[in-house]
Structure 1
Amino acid sequence: MSRLGKAWAASAALGACVSLCFPAQAQTSASAEIWATQGADCVAEAGEAAPWWNTAYSPECRARFVLGQFATLEEKLLFLGGLSYGLDVGADENAPQVRDVARELGLPAIAGADGPAGLTRGAVATAMPAPLTVAASFDPEVAALYGRILAAEFRSAGTGTILGPAYDIARNWRFGRLAESMGEDPFLTAEMAAAQVGALTEGGVLTMMKHYAVYSQDAGRVGDQPSGSGPVGNNIVSERAMREIYLPGFEAAVRRGGAGGVMCSFPRINGVFACEHPQLFDILKVEWGFDGYVGPDFPSAQRSITRAVLAGLDSGSWGPSTFNAALAHEKPLADAVRDGEVPMARIDDMVLRRLIPHFRLGLYDNPPLRRADNVSTPAHRAAAADIIAAGAVLLRNAGGVLPLGPDVRSIAVIGPQATEAAVVALQGSPWVEPAHFEPALPAITARAGDGVAVSYAPGTRGLAALPPPDSAQFAAPDGRPGFRARYYASADLGFAGELLGEAVVTDPALAAAPAVPGLPGRNQWSVRYDSRFTPAASGMHRFTLHGSGSARLWIDGRDAGTFEHADFGNAIFANVELTAGQPVDIRVDYTPRAALRTERMAMFGMEMGLTLRFGHAGPDDLLAQAVEAARAADVAVVFAGELVGEGMDRISLTLQGDQDRLIAAVAAANPRTVVVLNTGGPVAMPWLEDVASVLSMWHPGDAFGPAVAGLLFGDREPGGRLPVTFPADATQGAATQAYQMPGLTDPVTGALGDALYDEGVFVGYRFFDAAGQEPLFPFGYGLSYADIAMEVLSAGLSSDWQALDVQLRLTNRSARAGTAVPQLYVGLPAETGSPPWQLKGFASLRLGVGESRMHTIRVPFSSLRHWDSATRQWRLAAGSYRLRLGASSRDPVWEGQITLPEDISDR
């Protein structure tokens, strides 16, 4: 059987399994009217005019008092349409003004904004470090600090709802939004989510956490243009994997953090759109007791009105929407209620869910007021620098080169990433303009002082689009300068459709559809550009291709890079040694099919929509300058970065551009080379054994300079540990096959379809452990500047017989303070079919010089349960539980075993 045939067979087999694990989806979820059928005790005092303003009543009763003021269906729908999460997704700017029934009752409008990494609109704000930095800290206090800063800046901007944070699980390194989330482990994600959302809640900001649920790629998430009109990917996943891997972060945010909103995601989950998935909503609202509302991600995530409302969607578009083609032929919600298809109790439930969290968080009693146009403060940026350091991971430190000592009298700083040109923020919805950005180079120079010479060399042209091609060096097949463009009536890179026309262009750049007769609309076409390039000089030539949709660059007949299904934007970087006067063929294949719009636009820190830019730069001496600077210095510090973010799943595990080449050349010139990485997740390191130190600092935001200078000179401690496994190569880890990620492609339509999550619960280090794969760096790994010993003193059942207690002692044996992150992994009884090891406890502890400290890691029995697919319930198994304490998932310092008898496991 062919690989494709095997994939389709696997899809069918897993689909059958899912049909056994999931009952047939009911049209109406059990949670659809949960609030509307309660509340008999909510009785206002006689004569009380506006009881919803009386804080003595519960949030639920206050919400019911407001609901009681809406006498008609129209008033309820006006409320639902006028109080969205800061985005009136169904509004027409030319529509006449309608009643604001909320304001008539004195209820203020509460604005919302994106904000996983800081406030994105409404005021100038602090560009916070990427959320993955928080996860890397392994410290809930850091997550809480992050949440407090967000809450303060949102409220100072007059904004009360954050569209985020994101608690998606990194299924593998390809996920473009990995750095927007909290890594690969559900337990770590849950602990961080509880702390972060709890701080936001205490700070009076309603969190609309995302993306619920099983969201681990952007490819195929939106469908064709117009938005919402085409099919989206279908994630086929077992209920056990959903429960154990993809949902714990959301549960913690609800149960322990007090989240008030949930953003349902784009894809289908086992054939059902996430925003109309009764089972997902029942888990959320019934099992977890969620009192808030569910709204769609960008409008096209909502694919129906009646079906979605009956399933449990509470916020969205309730009629034809200018933003969402999927709703063009849907019956308006008002008509569905009048026709008896949607009960009034469901509408009441929707109204209550929009009100209750606003009363619970005090947003109506103490609404956020805009206090400044710039809500960032020096204190916030200083705290951001602390967070960066807490999540910075020291991956290598051969010879103790870091921190830099008094023997270092000269430093060569290399790479544009050390300057104002650095990429320090994630693209897409987490984008915050780094308005207060402090680059690394001046911060290092200032910290080094007068006695240390600091030089700089760029070494590379960075990650921006290269200049447009010089048409004098490019010739179309007929000899004219430029490229031959051939346009096809098919939206794929196979060019199976009719050839509609051709032309010669000087530059294969696009900002809208070309004026070609018969060219299909809605981005449903493709183009092939061909040229013959004659280099003017010998040496390394750089080529770039930035754009959206799908594109492939061919150089001299070889595939030089590909991106696919990029609805926002992506980039290809190619470096080729060429000889002057010896021509090579250049080809660019492109279709804008997946692009979110039909024209180019600047947004979210990138160009998006229908856009394509081809760039070229000839040989230069940048690398030679960097090598010379490195050779003349005591230490060379190379800064490397990565373009990554929403809508741009990663293409390659290698660093973009010619950064690997730069690092290797510098390391050959100076063995005391330090590499500072600003990436969105794991990267390959072919130069690892040749450099002295590697410091991973993710995307750091505004406070990069002070944080990295402090880390390099030892004023700060790299407190982070890896929240994701770094594979040794792209073949390692889960979901490495196309049928798993991004999924199977429909042979007729070319659309992405089923993506098989057949790795089940074996995600991240769980997969590496089960498959016996040796990663480049394991989950939880990270070095300290200090030498801190860990030893286990005892392990056993807690005194109340409700948990496992592991008592340990940590001793700092070095002459400087440092951070230890003990991690407790548990292996469940074999009968459970669980991964070999799972993180179940950790701590981030700072120890002073010579300090010794006792600490107990407690694992409640509830954390040891597994999802029993046969009975469809959580179960605590009897038997032997293996315990492993260590500094990472692969670095144990102690192993033990505890047996749970039947009488305990039945509790």
Structure 2
Amino acid sequence: MRRYLVLAMGSALSIPAASHAQSNKSGDPDTRAAAVEKQMTDAERVTITHGIMAVPFGTTKLPEGLLLGAGYVEGIPRLGVPALTETDASLGVSYVGGLRGDGATALPSGLAMGATWDPDLIGRGGATIAGEAQAKGFNVLLAGGINLVRDPRGGRNFEYLGEDPLHSGLLGGAAIAGIQSRHVMSTVKHFAINAVETGRQFHNAVIGDSALRMSDLLAFEIAIERGNPGSVMCAYNRVNGASACGNDALLNGVLKRDWGYKGFVMSDWGAVHGLDFAVKGLDQQSGAQLDAKLYFGAELAEAARRDKRYKARLTDMNRRILRSMYAVGIDTYPPAKAPIDIAANARVAQDVAEQGIVLLRNRDVLPLAAKAQRIAVIGGFADSGVLSGGGSSQVQGVGGPVVAIPTVGGPFAAVLAQSYQRSSPLEAIVARVPKADVVFRSGRYIADAVAAAKKADVAIVFATQWMTEGLDAPDLSLPDGQDALVSAVAEANPNTIVVLETGSQVVMPWLEKTAAVLEAWYPGARGGEAIAAILFGDVNPSGRLPVTFPASVDQLPRPKLPGSDTVEPNFLGYGKPGQTLDIDYNVEGADVGYRWFAKRHAAPLFPFGFGLSYTRFEHGPLTIVPGAAPVARFAVTNTGKRSGADVGQVYLTGTPAGDATRLVGFSKVTLKPGEKRILEVPIDPRLLATWKDGRWDMAAGTYRFAVGSSAADLETPVASGFLARKW
């Protein structure tokens, strides 16, 4: 309880005081940055304001001995300014199509991390991958993906943490703090409202200021407060007409003025469209080969010589970048090639996977008994490995993918291959029951899978949904006819268990035919072992959904995917010259995910926060301690016969203006059978307020709260009175 309060109200993972003092031994970051910037020559002032994509691409000549990765920003040795060596991403050190010839530990996908509801564990994961990055020679991780999941078809949903701003903000901040505790700089991305990939270079997210402040921007605000990232990465898309990387209202207005952010804004790779982006708030042009030209080099220097605005801006750009270097300590603790404890890091990845797997259905078939004699394992390349998402965040272990299925040709073929981690669920199951008769069928032929299922005591179907950066899913079905496969196997064997490895939400037309369903997401480096541990009860499932699973696309704010009939799918996101695409997010506004369903009184397939266990829990009673920093106090009791972890979730259910549904706090706790724990969860007043006339406005009156096990399963609300506040 006390640990959670620290996580929620301060940094999610504290940097040791001794390390912090050492990294600032020459003065505070702002003072150091100003002093170094004053010593720069005019030529040096445009050195760290731009970088290249650090892979062979186009005609750009790479520096000799360059560490291949996402990006490289040249340093200034004369002034002791280190180069920035950048790697993707939130899930581990990117594989970059195998160009470096090495592997890294793959954490489970962002949604799997979100399903843990455990900031401390996510902080450990961040520190783990940062340690690997530093040992490989990198000092920047392009991590911290926290865009809200507004559309389950979004291609990058697997990189993000969920649909709720508090949940994503707290977990995202924990990941960032964990990364930077190892003196590796982290970004937070993609700022802002990067919800789909269709036409990502030009589509325009249209949304009102109030709705944006109370949803996607609030997630960023909380993550920045908790994690203090060195950099914010802006998005490809437009927001209310202006490119996100040249959006004066977002970058200069919200981020730097309103939030007082002291770090720097780097562009996404290929997201800069003009020199004027500098005066609109962008501090660094990244991956310049993908832009039409280098704007933040000689052209910026010339503009600074003739225009006072650009001169002042260039000074600020350099100071912000330097400040982040010094605040994180990448100058004092430079990266150095070193051995990596792959086994220890894989254990962290497995911990995340085990806590992130969500048990969605169980008709008393799980956990499986070790004495199970005949098991049919079907589909999903379960004999080889577990699925991972495509694009820049692709991580693979030593030896590369065990299976790689091409999906496109051309220069991006390697990063867009449907690739599998070297962690076989089949092997993990066989190891758990070595005397059982375990057979595998690929699922290519339904008749073959059905024949095997009929002979088995239990059939375990692995169903996959590959998703990737650059491309959205056309619908919510399982691809390659897998829905038909699951349905046929379930009809043949009533003890059919479905293990889903998906990048986002899917529909389940076969659900009622199955005995059990596990959502394993993309479970990472030790995903096979984690799945087996849940199936056989070595680990009691404690994952809770970070997103709402709709029953059909008809329940979505936009049943038809915007641009699906006008924009040609393209990994880079370019359209035809002059092509436009407006996406109206005012339809749902701040009511993302479960809030949309609550507002419409619609029943989803599975609600946000849902997840079953092999034991049972009771919540309450709930009391609210009002005040400037209100606190929710409630009990969680394990009423079952097994130890297990539960997530107590507190929701706002009503305000003086009427009904409302908002997550305002949560805490994950592990309890023995019969154990009861009193939890105290702080409530951020912003979650009780509305954004109005440029500030938070909290009306006086009665507010109702409830505690429960999901957004749709809440106890009788309790009421508490609050005074009016504006800030």
TM-score (norm 1): 0.70
Aligned to 2:379: 415
Kept in 1, the 8 Å contact 2:199–2:563? The answer is no
Kept in 1, the 8 Å contact 2:52–2:289? The answer is no
Q: 1:898 aligns with which of 717, 720, 726?
A: 720
Note the C-alpha offset of 1:261: 0.6
Cα deviation, 1:36-71, whole Å, max 9, x if unaligned, reads xxxxxxxxxxxxxxxx9971411111112211221x
Moved more, 383-392 or 802-811: 802-811
Aligned to 2:618: 789
Aligned to 1:190: 169
Distance 1:855 1:365 in 2: 40
Aligned to 1:812: 638
Matched, 1:843 2:672: no
Distance 1:330 1:79 in 2: 9
Note the C-alpha offset of 1:747: 13
Note the C-alpha offset of 1:350: 0.8
Q: Structure 1 residues 806, 64: CA separation in 2 closer, same or farther (over 3 Å shift)?
A: closer
Note the C-alpha offset of 1:755: 1.4
Aligned to 1:878: 700
Kept in 2, the 8 Å contact 1:680–1:698? The answer is yes
Distance 2:195 2:685 in 1: 29
Cα deviation, 1:49-99, whole Å, max 9, x if unaligned, reads xxx9971411111112211221x3222123434x679789999418999x9
Cα deviation, 1:331-375, whole Å, max 9, x if unaligned, reads 911221222264322111111111111111111011111114xx4
Kept in 1, the 8 Å contact 2:136–2:337? The answer is yes
Q: Secondary structure at the match of 2:313?
A: helix
Note the C-alpha offset of 1:325: 2.1
Kept in 2, the 8 Å contact 1:820–1:845? The answer is yes
- Percent of matched pairs sharing the same residue: 34
Note the C-alpha offset of 1:104: 1.8
Q: 2:239 aligns with which of 228, 246, 269?
A: 269
Aligned to 2:3: none
Q: 1:826 aligns with which of 645, 652, 666?
A: 652
Cα deviation, 1:242-268, whole Å, max 9, x if unaligned, reads 111111222223222110011111111
Aligned to 1:534: none
Matched, 1:289 2:260: yes
Aligned to 1:242: 212
Aligned to 2:19: none
Aligned to 2:411: none
Q: Secondary structure at the match of 2:361?
A: strand
Kept in 1, the 8 Å contact 2:75–2:84? The answer is no
Cα deviation, 1:613-655, whole Å, max 9, x if unaligned, reads xxxxxxxxx3222112211111111101111010111111110
* Aligned positions of 1:296-315 closer than 5 A: 296-299=267-270, 301-305=271-275, 307-315=276-284
Q: Secondary structure at the match of 1:716?
A: coil
Distance 1:404 1:730 in 2: 34
Paired residue total? 665
Note the C-alpha offset of 1:112: 0.8
Q: Structure 1 residues 329, 62: CA separation in 2 closer, same or farther (over 3 Å shift)?
A: closer
Moved more, 738-747 or 766-775: 738-747
Q: Structure 1 residues 95, 704: CA separation in 2 closer, same or farther (over 3 Å shift)?
A: closer
**What amino acid is the match of 1:419?**
D
Q: 1:174 aligns with which of 150, 153, 160?
A: 153
Matched, 1:754 2:723: no
TM-score (norm 2): 0.86
Kept in 1, the 8 Å contact 2:166–2:222? The answer is no
* Aligned positions of 1:96-135 closer than 5 A: 102-121=76-95, 123-135=102-114
Note the C-alpha offset of 1:154: 0.9
Q: Structure 1 residues 413, 88: CA separation in 2 closer, same or farther (over 3 Å shift)?
A: closer
Aligned to 2:389: 426
Cα deviation, 1:770-819, whole Å, max 9, x if unaligned, reads 11211111111110111122221x41324xx2233332222222221112
Q: What residue ranges of structure 2 are gaps of 5+ in the alignment?
A: 1-21, 67-72, 399-420, 569-573
Kept in 2, the 8 Å contact 1:84–1:315? The answer is no
Q: What residue ranges of structure 1 are gaps of 5+ in the alignment?
A: 1-51, 223-231, 461-621
Distance 1:298 1:430 in 2: 13
**What amino acid is the match of 2:306?**
D
Aligned to 1:694: 517
Kept in 2, the 8 Å contact 1:80–1:351? The answer is yes
Q: Secondary structure at the match of 1:311?
A: coil
Q: Structure 1 residues 265, 376: CA separation in 2 closer, same or farther (over 3 Å shift)?
A: farther
Note the C-alpha offset of 1:864: 1.8
Distance 1:329 1:344 in 2: 12
Q: Secondary structure at the match of 1:347?
A: helix
Aligned to 1:656: 479
* Aligned positions of 1:191-270 closer than 5 A: 191-222=170-201, 232-270=202-240
**What amino acid is the match of 1:270?**
N
Distance 2:23 2:617 in 1: 55
Distance 2:74 2:529 in 1: 48
Cα deviation, 1:158-190, whole Å, max 9, x if unaligned, reads 111011221111112111111100111111101
Q: Secondary structure at the match of 1:429?
A: coil
Give the RMSD, CA atoms, in angstroms: 2.9
Larger radius of gyration: 1
Distance 1:363 1:195 in 2: 19
Matched, 1:80 2:13: no
**What amino acid is the match of 1:189?**
S
Note the C-alpha offset of 1:838: 0.5
**What amino acid is the match of 2:25?**
T
Note the C-alpha offset of 1:897: 1.5
Q: Structure 1 residues 740, 322: CA separation in 2 closer, same or farther (over 3 Å shift)?
A: closer
Cα deviation, 1:687-707, whole Å, max 9, x if unaligned, reads 100000000000112211210
Q: 1:403 aligns with which of 346, 367, 379?
A: 367
Kept in 1, the 8 Å contact 2:146–2:219? The answer is yes
Note the C-alpha offset of 1:286: 2.2
4+ residue runs over 6 A deviation: 83-91, 94-97, 326-331, 740-750
Q: Secondary structure at the match of 2:372?
A: coil
**What amino acid is the match of 1:810?**
V
Q: 2:438 aligns with which of 454, 461, 465?
A: 454
**What amino acid is the match of 1:354?**
I
Kept in 2, the 8 Å contact 1:396–1:695? The answer is yes
Moved more, 213-222 or 735-744: 735-744
Q: Structure 1 residues 360, 213: CA separation in 2 closer, same or farther (over 3 Å shift)?
A: same
Kept in 1, the 8 Å contact 2:170–2:226? The answer is no
* Aligned positions of 1:506-585 closer than 5 A: none
Kept in 1, the 8 Å contact 2:179–2:186? The answer is yes
**What amino acid is the match of 2:372?**
V
Note the C-alpha offset of 1:742: 8.9
Note the C-alpha offset of 1:862: 3.8
Distance 2:624 2:560 in 1: 42
Note the C-alpha offset of 1:441: 0.3
Note the C-alpha offset of 1:221: 1.6
